[in-house]
Structures are given as C-alpha cells and as structure tokens.
Structure 1
Amino acid sequence: MTDYVVLFPADDEAAWLAGSEADHQATYDTDAEFARLLTEAGGAITGGAGLGPSSAARTLRRTDEGVAVTDGPYAETVEQMSGFFLVTCDDHDALVEAARVLTRSHPVVEVRPVEE
C-alpha cells in the first residue's frame, strides 16, 4: 500500500469557531463519508488530526541573522492549515476520487504521497 497525507490548507479558522454544532457536524459527516469511500476503494485512514488554533502556533524562519520566531503560521491571511489524514491506498485515482467529497467542507484538499 502507498501512504499519502490528505491536507486541509485553506480552511477559515474564524468561520469554524463561529460555526454552529450543525455546521461542525456537517464537516464530521463529510469526513466520515470520505472514510467510507476510501474503504470501498481498498484504502484506509491510518491517522490524522485536527490542528489547534493558530493563535497558539509559532513559525520559525531562517534569516540572514539566524532564526526568526513569529506568532501564527501566516500573519497576512485568515486561512490556516486545519488538519490532515494519513491514508493508505493502492489506487491513487480512487483516493483522489474519494477525496472529492471533502471539498464540501474544505475549500482546498491536497493529496500528497508520503516518501518512504
């Protein structure tokens, strides 16, 4: 089986925090549908997590003077990396097809192979 990471790099944290339980449940239901479709394609979710608030994040960047540490991942945007799934699947096209459902709740879904 090939390992992949499915990333959610453009979710709006403020919209999530302002969302209702029904809004959150719709996202959870979409994620569950992805898991079902992936399983039907012979794959599996092997890990993953939602990420904590960007207010607790720190970014480290190498500069000419050393390393700069700043608050948050991207000071100039409201979009944040909100979470990820680790998955296995032998059929890349089937994985991408299953991941289409995730765009109902996540504006951008990135599927990347994990290098061994």
Structure 2
Amino acid sequence: MAQRYVLLLRGDEAMWEAADAAAQAAAYVDHEAFAAACAERGHTVVGGEELQPAGTALVVRLGDDGVVVADGPYAETVEQLGGYYVIETDDVQDLARLVRTIMWPGDVVEIRPTT
C-alpha cells in the first residue's frame, strides 16, 4: 500500500515577487510537468495548492492569557511556506529526486509522511 506524503514547499517570496512574468509562467509550467511526471512514475498527486504570501497568514498561539491571534508569518525567515502537495507513493526516494524539477535556487522542500 502506498504511503501518503506532504511536500512542504519553502522559498524566498522576495525572489518570486522580483521574478518577471516569463519566469513565473515557466515555474507554473514546471509544476504542471511535475504533476505529469508523478503520474507517469506511479506517484499519485492527491492535492496541492500555492499559498498566498506569508503576510496574509494568521498565527494562533495559546498563551498564559488564552488564545493570541497575530497577523503575519509564524517566523521571520528567508524561506516562507509557499505551497504544498499531498502525494501517495511507494517510492519516496524517486519522488525526492523528482521534486528538484520544481525548485528554484535556495528553495527547501520538506517531504513528510502522514500517519
């Protein structure tokens, strides 16, 4: 039985925002090709989406005085969570090799199995 994995795509939002329209369009083509390659290799893309910029996030924390809701990303880092995929596969190593096709310089992709 295939294991389900969540791929957390992290990158530099400033790099994305500074990219011209052609570079951004090419990135979307790369994601379409990634999904097609997953299907060809027997990896099932269950879902995934691009996320809005980190500045649109709400962070909810449980503090001593109850729940605290704050605007903005969880942490100030160079890499922001920009999107995710949920993929079922029997070959996570192949998936890990394939994911490089959607990465820009400096990107980090975390592949984590679900329970």
TM more than 0.5: yes
TM range (shorter): 0.7 to 0.9
Residues 32-43 of structure 1 correspond to what in structure 2 (within 5 A)? 32-43=32-43
Note if 1:108 corresponds to 2:108.
Answer: yes
The number of residue pairs the alignment matches comes to 114
| Change in CA separation of 1:104 and 1:13 when aligned onto 2, cut-off 3 Å | closer
TM-score (norm. length: structure 1): 0.82
The 10-residue stretch of structure 1 (79-88 or 96-105) with the greater mean CA deviation from structure 2:
96-105
Contact 1:30 1:104 in 2 (8 A): no
Cα distance in 2 for partners of 1:32, 1:59 equals 31
Cα distance in 1 for partners of 2:15, 2:84 equals 18
Moved over 4 A (4+): none
The CA RMSD over aligned residues, in Å, is 2.0
Note if 1:60 corresponds to 2:60.
Answer: yes
TM-score (norm. length: structure 2): 0.83
What amino acid is aligned across from residue 48 of structure 2 in structure 1? Answer: G
Runs of 5+ consecutive residues of structure 1 not aligned to the other structure: none
| Change in CA separation of 1:67 and 1:51 when aligned onto 2, cut-off 3 Å | same
Which digits, 9 at most, give the CA deviation of each residue in 1:45-68, with x for residues without a partner?
121101112222110112122222
Cα distance in 2 for partners of 1:78, 1:97 equals 23
In the alignment, which residue of structure 2 is the partner of 1:5?
6
Runs of 5+ consecutive residues of structure 2 not aligned to the other structure: none
The secondary structure found in structure 2 opposite 1:73 is coil
In the alignment, which residue of structure 2 is the partner of 1:16?
16
Percentage of pairs with the same residue: 39
In the alignment, which residue of structure 1 is the partner of 2:80?
80
In the alignment, which residue of structure 2 is the partner of 1:98?
98
What amino acid is aligned across from residue 44 of structure 1 in structure 2? Answer: T
Note if 1:29 corresponds to 2:29.
Answer: yes
Cα distance in 1 for partners of 2:45, 2:72 equals 28
The 10-residue stretch of structure 1 (31-40 or 41-50) with the greater mean CA deviation from structure 2:
31-40
The 10-residue stretch of structure 1 (32-41 or 92-101) with the greater mean CA deviation from structure 2:
32-41
Cα distance in 1 for partners of 2:16, 2:67 equals 32
